[in-house]
């Protein structure tokens, strides 16, 4: 009898696991060997994305960092689920000026690829992209391709803590290659912090325009060691390839 | 030993620590996983094996927690292996490219022995 009960419990557990997996499968992107951009929005530069593989924090070169940015809003103004829905729907609107996120018309959904055209210090333009790795009602995650400034993912989420709704952006990353690692050390980290702080301020400003919301920043070095064997990632560097592309612009213009 | 919050159990087989991951692996599992890792590595093991047979839902925050364990293992030169992943999560490990750094074994014996690199 006890054996039968054990088997029943096991069967119920298996069914629950299968149901959880089926529900969960809709939230994750399907496996892709190389990225493909289905549609290039007007004004966007499609460079350094098509044909690239995804690169997570374990594929990068530099030290591994976990950076968490949080903005606290009164729960009465917006629930966590509504906040994430707003964030997904209007994601590009909250980016700091000078940086463009060209998402698919269908919005943030698992497997979708977005193009990024960004401005780096020295007014340098950089073209890259991201893939939506995961999205549900409470969070969504973007993952970077080879050649991006960093190899990793960024998770945007919201939680309700007592009478507050906490909006959070969390970056788990390594610089992709030695040049980006040097860039991060020479002010890149600060610039990245400012970027996400401003993004959260812009988001919070939409929800509660009456006051400027403080953004908490927490930075943890998850792995101090650099992965020297990954120095060859520099071959895919979006910075170098974007610079070459920009230098070639006058020639392309003449050939027109 | 059972850790707090999620019932994550840490066992020893020879000099390999096996962490039985049970339930959802998401933000709420952070403290349990950290405690399990601390317990598993209190006496330096030859390797740490993550048993996902009892794991339920894993979201992207959960994957980030596993990356954190990989980094902690790397910092102390402790290899980490896994088994018990459903085909769906095996695919997720491929998409996120965790599989590049984490040996996924078909069962506990091969994970403990570290004899098989690829999944069944």
CATH code (residue B18): 3.30.750.24
Q: For the stretch B26-35, what's the b/e string if a residue is b when 16 or more beta carbons lie within 10 angstroms of its beta carbon?
A: bbebbebbbb
Task: Please check whether residue A68 lies inside any domain of the structure.
Answer: yes
Query: Is the torsion defined by CA of A88, A93, A94, A98 positive or negative?
Result: positive
Q: Is residue B31 part of a domain?
A: yes
Over chain A, what is the mean pLDDT? Answer: 85
Residue A29: inside a domain, yes or no?
no
In a domain, B119, yes or no: no
Residue B27 lies in a domain: yes
Closest-CA distance, B21 to chain A, in angstroms, reads 14
pLDDT of res. A218: 93
Q: pTM for the whole thing?
A: 0.82
DSSP class of residue B115? -
Residue at B120 is within a domain: no
**Better-predicted residue by pLDDT, B66 or A256:** B66
CB B44 within 8 A of CB B75: no
Query: Which residues is B82 bridged to in the sheet?
Result: B50, B104
Residue B2: the pLDDT is 47
A6 touches chain B (CB under 8 A): no
Q: Name the pLDDT band for A20 (thresholds 50, 70, 90).
A: low
Q: For residue A141, what is the nearest residue in chain B, using CA coordinates? A: B60
Residue A231 domain-assigned (yes or no): yes
Residue A10 covered by a domain: no
- pLDDT (tens, 9 = 90+) of chain B, 120 residues, equals 544 456 789 999 989 999 999 988 988 888 999 999 999 999 999 999 999 999 988 988 899 899 889 988 988 899 999 999 999 899 899 888 888 888 999 999 999 998 654 443
Please indicate, yes or no, if residue B25 is contained in any of the structural domains. yes
Which ipTM did the prediction report?
A: 0.73
CA distance B89 to chain A (A): 8
pLDDT band at A120 (very low <50, low <70, confident <90, very high): confident
Q: Is residue A1 part of a domain?
A: no
**Residues A108, A89: Cα–Cα separation, whole Å:** 7
Residue among B27, B60, B91 whose CB faces A133 most closely: B60
Residue B39's φ and ψ, nearest 5 degrees, are: -65, -45
For residue A124, pLDDT over 80 is answered with: no
With respect to residue B118, please indicate whether it lies within any of the assigned structural domains: no
| Position A138 in a domain | yes
Q: Residue A103 sits in which domain range?
A: 39-235
Size of interface A-B (CB pairs under 8 A): 80
* Domain at A169, CATH number: 3.30.530.20
Per residue in A134-185, pLDDT (tens digit) is: 999 989 999 999 888 899 999 999 999 899 999 999 999 999 999 999 999 9
Sequence-separated (6 or more) residues with CB below 8 Å from residue A111: A29, A30, A32, A131, A132
Number of structural domains (chain A) is 1
Crossing angle of helices A189-207/A80-89, nearest 10°? 110
Structural domain total, chain B? 1
């Amino acid at each position: 009898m006890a054996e039968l009960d054990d088997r029943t419990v096991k069967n119920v557990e298996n069914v629950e696991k299968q149901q959880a997996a089926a529900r969960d499968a809709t939230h994750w992107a399907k496996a892709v060997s190389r990225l493909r951009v289905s549609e290039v929005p007007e004004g966007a530069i499609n460079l350094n994305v098509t044909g690239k593989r995804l690169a997570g924090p374990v594929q990068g070169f530099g030290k591994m960092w976990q950076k968490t940015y949080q903005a606290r809003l009164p729960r009465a103004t917006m629930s966590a689920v509504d906040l994430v829905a707003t964030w997904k729907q209007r994601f590009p609107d909250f980016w700091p000026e000078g940086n463009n996120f060209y998402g698919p018309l269908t919005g943030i959904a698992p497997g979708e690829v977005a193009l990024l055209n960004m401005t780096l210090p020295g007014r340098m333009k950089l073209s890259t992209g991201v893939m939506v790795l995961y999205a549900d009602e409470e969070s969504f995650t973007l993952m970077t391709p080879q050649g991006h400034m960093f190899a990793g993912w960024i998770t945007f989420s919201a939680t309700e803590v007592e009478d507050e709704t906490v909006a959070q952006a969390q970056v788990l990353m390594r610089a992709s290659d030695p040049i980006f690692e040097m860039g991060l050390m020479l002010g890149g980290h600060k610039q990245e912090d400012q970027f996400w702080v401003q993004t959260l301020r812009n988001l919070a400003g939409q929800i509660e325009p009456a006051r400027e919301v403080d953004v908490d920043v927490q930075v943890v070095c998850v792995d101090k060691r650099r992965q020297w064997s990954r120095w060859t990632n520099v071959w895919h560097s979006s910075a170098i390839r974007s610079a070459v592309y920009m230098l070639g612009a006058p020639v392309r213009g003449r050939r027109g | 030993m059972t850790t707090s919050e999620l019932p994550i159990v840490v066992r020893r087989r020879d000099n390999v620590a096996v962490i039985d991951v049970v339930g959802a692996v998401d933000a709420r599992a952070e403290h349990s996983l950290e405690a399990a890792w601390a317990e598993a590595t209190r006496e330096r093991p030859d390797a740490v094996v993550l048993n996902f047979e009892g794991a339920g839902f894993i979201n992207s925050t959960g994957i980030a927690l596993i990356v954190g364990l990989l980094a902690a293992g790397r910092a102390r030169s402790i290899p980490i292996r896994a088994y018990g992943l459903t085909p769906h999560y095996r695919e997720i490990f491929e998409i996120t490219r965790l599989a590049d750094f984490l040996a996924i074994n078909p069962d506990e014996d091969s994970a403990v022995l570290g004899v098989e690199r690829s999944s069944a």
